[in-house]
């Protein structure tokens, strides 16, 4: 049988095959992904920031919260977040944070601790923000 005849035979067999027109539903039961550095402290806000040169961009759909922040901590988070982002951008400029090499830094602002690391990802900075424990303040 020639190549052409064999391929034609296969095509005919595929066309006549009865294939169900239903896609089986599959439940993967995957928990929501955690964006940011993994941390055992709760409450904790984590995010994956997108790095563009020495600028960092926050995308709300790349963030997660575990636990419940107090109203005061939420207010402090709202106030400190832009300041912490600016400090992280300055660390990118100075080379303390390097997009190609894993190196963690810790910042403190308004009773919050911010752990950040690029994880050598070449384009992202991962952060975890949580209330500063009383012993570390």
**Which residue ranges form the domains of the chain, and what is each CATH number?**
32-131 (3.30.450.20)
Strand locations in 8-66 (E): 44-52, 55-57, 63-66
H or E element that contains 130: strand 124-131
51 CB contacts (<8 Å, ≥6 apart)? 57, 92, 99, 118, 123, 124, 125
In this model, does residue 104 exceed pLDDT 90?
A: yes
**pLDDT at 36 (0 to 100):** 77
Element (H, E) at 92: helix 71-94
pLDDT for residue 97 is more than 50: yes
Residue 49: pLDDT over 80: yes
Q: What is the mean pLDDT of the chain?
A: 81
More confident residue, 7 or 83: 83
Mapping DSSP to helix (H, G, I), strand (E, B) and coil, where does residue 7 land?
helix
Q: Looking at the predicted structure, is the pLDDT value of residue 14 above 70?
A: no
Which strand (E) or helix (H) includes residue 73? helix 71-94
In this model, does residue 112 exceed pLDDT 90?
yes
Quote the CA–CA distance of 22 and 11 in Å, as a whole number: 22
At residue 82, does pLDDT exceed 50? yes
Mean pLDDT of 110-136: 90
* pLDDT for the residue numbered 22: 56
């Amino acid at each position: 049988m020639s190549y052409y005849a064999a391929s034609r035979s296969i095509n005919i067999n595929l066309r006549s095959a009865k294939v169900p027109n239903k896609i089986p539903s599959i439940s993967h039961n995957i928990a929501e992904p955690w964006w940011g550095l993994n941390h055992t402290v709760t409450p904790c806000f984590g995010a994956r920031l997108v790095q563009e040169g020495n600028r960092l961009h926050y995308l709300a759909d790349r963030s997660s919260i575990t636990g419940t922040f107090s109203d005061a901590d939420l207010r402090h988070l709202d106030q400190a977040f832009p300041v912490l982002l600016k400090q992280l951008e300055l660390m990118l400029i100075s080379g303390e944070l390097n997009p190609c090499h894993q190196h963690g830094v810790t910042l403190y602002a308004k009773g919050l601790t911010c752990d950040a690391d690029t994880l050598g990802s070449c384009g992202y900075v991962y952060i975890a923000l949580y209330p500063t424990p009383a012993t570390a303040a």
